[in-house]
Structure 1
């Protein structure tokens, strides 16, 4: 269904798949739409009244997700056949497959610059792929459960996963480590969406709630109740002023954000660093993990105050230690000279006493 948000405008109903539709996404320019289905196909639609479409025989099992690259030229799909496939949109043909997952692949997403692909599977891993070289360059393992959904933050430096074990995790793909771990839902998390600023994350859960996290403060700021049953999908609008959610109650709800219109602007005044986003990671930031020159002009970086204070402390401590040792050495030398002088004086005094006694 394609919904027109203007009043008194009817929705378009597109029919083509013969089984359940699992994922839908517009192309970046809005002139094309892709859908994935349990009928093992992917369809590319022209979003007009008639809903013309062409089908791609994509996988040998149900297709779980579909996602366009930032320029709309490529499409990545994930399937229960344990594979991820990348397609040329213009030619509507398969380019290559990625097949290192050992169980159903629930979701696959391009990074904002299109160089990387993130995927999650019921094999309990989240994998990061180099789209150009077609190799897996990172793998994050969760032993408690598997991720239902995965997505990049707007700068492409982090990946968020929605866990079947009620958790939401934020991974830094440059440092290869877990940054944040939220256990705020009472049931599995089905979907996540980053606010365009990258500072907020919204989650959809089987417990029937949506939660909005402030990622810089690391806490939940809103819990939203509206669906009567599991919430299956959620997504921010391109500008972040709205978000939509879909649930097992057959409802699609459109929400308006108030933290973006009032609170967010106030927060910006207090936290200037919120408006500075990291640049997408250089591939050599991820592998191999060794020093390397970056192309282009050098970029400013934000240095952690903890690291700065630690380094200053170490430098000062080292400097103070050196000065202290030098001072001790000088004092010892002076004390030795004083002792020698005192010894010489005592010897002279002793000689004078002996001479005086002899004279008597």
Structure 2
């Protein structure tokens, strides 16, 4: 079909990952797009034409989730290496890492105020963390199988989670209790999210279904089966009028939630689509998949008056053909091929703005498990590289600096002023530095583990004391009840003082 101005348009595609794209998110400042991949790297794409892209290295396994903070100053990533990292999305590449779970972490999500972080894991729990203090707050653990996704509600009072136990659960963040559980699912659930008003929660499943529940009535209000394979991700437009979904059937579908029907099918990817995400304003959306590229689309269908768009769209996709002579008596069978009710868009995947951007590597090598990362610039001059390496050694860590050329007098002066030396300390070999770094890193992990165990031990001791106190109280009451009848029997046996005399 011919395209009109309201159709979504492929605006740009980004290449830089070496494996499947698993997650995407737009920066609220409208200038950056983040993507995580099975290749263990986080890419920050600058949306300005010909701008450089940053590759953040640090995770030891596939990245599974990415989310910008509301201010855009931080980006959080979750990984199968059981850790969560908080990055600053700039050339400095600073990050802080903490071991979040005892199994792969599947998703990460900031609350609306940016003060809390929710993570979901294969250890069957959802955990809530304090971002300013970077510490553990609470654990939600009633799922009976892997938890695939957890999301804060817009007001931050609820958390929705879903997983392989075929349930969607709602949690009260103040009481830490599960207040609702939707079980009307026939397969594992892959993704869950709230609408912008927080009145509904949507979920997607391996059985290719999309369901939307009204939290005010606890009823299923919409159920879609528009894909032919697992729905891996979806995103709701800020207006709550549209929903986009990515599936293993290699398509992106756009649903009209007000009319309850499919309106667009996009065929830009050459394999399963693993992630889709609207920008905060809804004017753009991104998709990524097993073809290792990120596609950025211009929404367009939300520009005009919504009713006008629906009216024009219905005229283009009306499935009823003109009257056929065979439809009138005497009626005889005739073949009518069903017409699609959605508009098929098959763009040629081409970058319409610029060539592939220059990629700058930022962060630690993939074989490192440090708690802080140091920038490593792929195209920096020799002096700047020495500055980075010296800064890393001052913190006790190693930075991998590639070779390069150029002048860097200013950086050398800064080195001299700060007292950092580009040469390794005397008497310390590279193997010794690596060993010491590994020991310190293991001590950090042990410290975090011990703190968690201490917290759990304290809770167990409190419960045990309460139980012992309750048992002692019950024993005293039982003893008192037994002692009462005995005194009565002894009086009856001995008789009164008058009888004995």
Q: What interval of TM-score do these two structures reach, taking the shorter chain for normalisation?
A: 0.7 to 0.9
Q: Any idea what the Cα deviations from partners look like across 1:81-100, whole Å, max 9, x if unmatched?
A: 00000000000000000000
* Residue from 242, 246, 249 that aligns with 2:288: 246
Normalized against structure 2, the TM-score is what? 0.53
* Residue from 26, 41, 44 that aligns with 2:68: 26
What residue number does 2:260 align with? Answer: 218
The RMSD of aligned alpha carbons is 1.5
Q: CA shift at 1:266, angstroms?
A: 3.4
Q: CA shift at 1:264, angstroms?
A: 3.1
Normalized against structure 1, the TM-score is what? 0.73
Instruction: Structure 1: give runs of 5+ residues left out of the alignment.
Output: 271-360
What residue number does 2:48 align with? Answer: 6
1:3 aligned counterpart, secondary structure: strand
Instruction: Structure 2: give runs of 5+ residues left out of the alignment.
Output: 1-42, 313-501
* Residue from 192, 204, 210 that aligns with 1:168: 210
Q: CA shift at 1:177, angstroms?
A: 1.2
Establish whether residue 117 from structure 1 lines up as the match of residue 175 from structure 2. no
Establish whether residue 185 from structure 1 lines up as the match of residue 185 from structure 2. no
Call closer, same or farther: CA 1:97–1:172 in 2, change over 3 Å: same
Between the aligned partners of 1:150 and 1:236, the Cα distance in structure 2 is 15
Counterpart contact for 2:301–2:309, Cα < 8 Å: no
* Residue from 137, 141, 146 that aligns with 2:183: 141
* Residue from 274, 277, 301 that aligns with 1:259: 301
* Residue from 52, 64, 68 that aligns with 2:110: 68
Q: CA shift at 1:56, angstroms?
A: 1.3
What residue number does 1:150 align with? Answer: 192
Between the aligned partners of 1:208 and 1:85, the Cα distance in structure 2 is 32
Q: CA shift at 1:21, angstroms?
A: 0.5
Between the aligned partners of 2:74 and 2:295, the Cα distance in structure 1 is 23
* Residue from 85, 90, 93 that aligns with 1:48: 90
Between the aligned partners of 1:227 and 1:263, the Cα distance in structure 2 is 30
Q: Any idea what the Cα deviations from partners look like across 1:32-74, whole Å, max 9, x if unmatched?
A: 1100000000001111102110001100000000000000000
Q: How many residues align?
A: 270
Equivalences for residues 311-330 of structure 1 within 5 A: none
Q: CA shift at 1:165, angstroms?
A: 0.1
What residue number does 2:277 align with? Answer: 235
What residue number does 2:134 align with? Answer: 92
Call closer, same or farther: CA 1:265–1:254 in 2, change over 3 Å: farther
The structure that has the greater radius of gyration is 1
Bigger Cα displacement from structure 2, 102-111 vs 173-182 = 173-182
What residue number does 2:426 align with? Answer: none
1:266 aligned counterpart, secondary structure: helix
Between the aligned partners of 1:166 and 1:36, the Cα distance in structure 2 is 25
What residue number does 2:146 align with? Answer: 104
